[in-house]
Amino acid sequence: MRGHVEDFIAYLEVERNASLHTRLGYLRDLKQFSEFLKVSKLCLSGTEPDIYKINEAAVTSFVYNLHRGCKKASVARKISSIRSLFRYLVKKGIVKMNPAELVPTPRIDKFLPTVLTAEEAKNLVEAPKKIKSRSTLRDLAVLETLYSAGIRLSELIGIRLKDLDLGAGTIRVLGKGSKERIAYLGEYAASSIKAYLDNERDGAAFIGEAPLFAGRKGKRLSPRTVQRIVQKYTAVSGIDKAPTPHALRHTFATHLLDAGVDLRSIQEMLGHAKLSTTQRYTKVGIDKMMEAYDKAHPKAKKIR
């Protein structure tokens, strides 16, 4: 099984252009499945799982075992990983059937993303101004960019100095599937980035490949550092929510939708491959409208 998994991961990289994060996720899930088969002594040839012996009963047994300690979303992802592996093997003519094809995926409860109001977003983004520290200008630029451009956390930390065009108010970002797109900076974000570069980055750092947002040693920020920045200034801002960096992306999209920007344009700005992914923001908008209706209309409660 190990060799087939390695071939599948290589296929994801070369032919599907999957990100390292995606490939590592598949690899972890498939290794866990393989270890389960070994421990359970299922579908083995000698001591190793045999790809030709794996059947629906073995996959179902693995899934049943997962339900004891995994969240539904994790179980669904692991089933998807196994299903994707065998779809690849069927396509290559290595096996005839996909043993995971008919294994039921747990129904995942839909949730609405955390979205800040315009006032909450303003309070959070401008919170660094209340604290004087070595990283104040950087943190302000980070928060302004997340909200202004609506980019993903991974896209933010991947921005290089050469990706920035302050004159045009744009940044080039590398999204999912290694797809590049242009994201737009508002005046506040562009001004914050300029102030950060002018005051907190020394001349030696100004090399095209160098990261735009860096730590004290000039190295690229880690995802955890950006998460801590958002948490830190959420506490300073006093807002009664617990937003993540991704919540600022949701907020960006929702505020554009509220302002009348069409879904196709928002889809392009967010870098979504499918319009259906962008459409979830209409649900947020509808819920907000109904809440406002219930509060404002004198007969709202009786009508609904």
- Asked, for residue 87, whether it belongs to a domain, the answer is yes
Answer yes or no: 232 catalytic: no
Answer yes or no: 152 catalytic: yes
Answer yes or no: 272 catalytic: yes
More confident residue, 176 or 285: 176
Q: Which two three-digit tokens encode residue 263?
A: 């879904």
- Asked, for residue 280, whether it belongs to a domain, the answer is no
Q: Residue 263: its pLDDT value, please?
A: 85
Which residue out of 181, 246, 280, 288 is catalytically annotated? 246
d(CA 114, CA 241): 8
In one-letter notation, the amino acid at residue 219 is K
Q: Residue 69: its pLDDT value, please?
A: 81
* Domain region containing 84: 2-91
d(CA 156, CA 243): 17
Q: Residue 200: its pLDDT value, please?
A: 83
Q: Residue 297: its pLDDT value, please?
A: 47
Of 13-22, 93-102, 117-126, 234-243, the one with minimum mean pLDDT is: 13-22
Answer yes or no: 96 catalytic: no
Residue 119 pLDDT > 70? yes
What are the residues whose beta carbons fall under 8 Å from the beta carbon of 125, sequence distance 6 or more? Answer: 140, 143, 144, 147, 188
Give the best-scoring range by mean pLDDT among 36-50, 257-271, 280-294.
Answer: 36-50
Count: domains in the chain = 2
Instruction: Tell me: do 124 and 239 sit in the same domain.
Output: yes
Average pLDDT value for residue range 271-288: 70
Instruction: Tell me: do 186 and 227 sit in the same domain.
Output: yes
Residue 127 is part of a domain; what is its CATH number? 1.10.443.10
- Asked, for residue 109, whether it belongs to a domain, the answer is no
Domain boundary among 47, 72, 91: 91
Answer yes or no: 138 catalytic: no
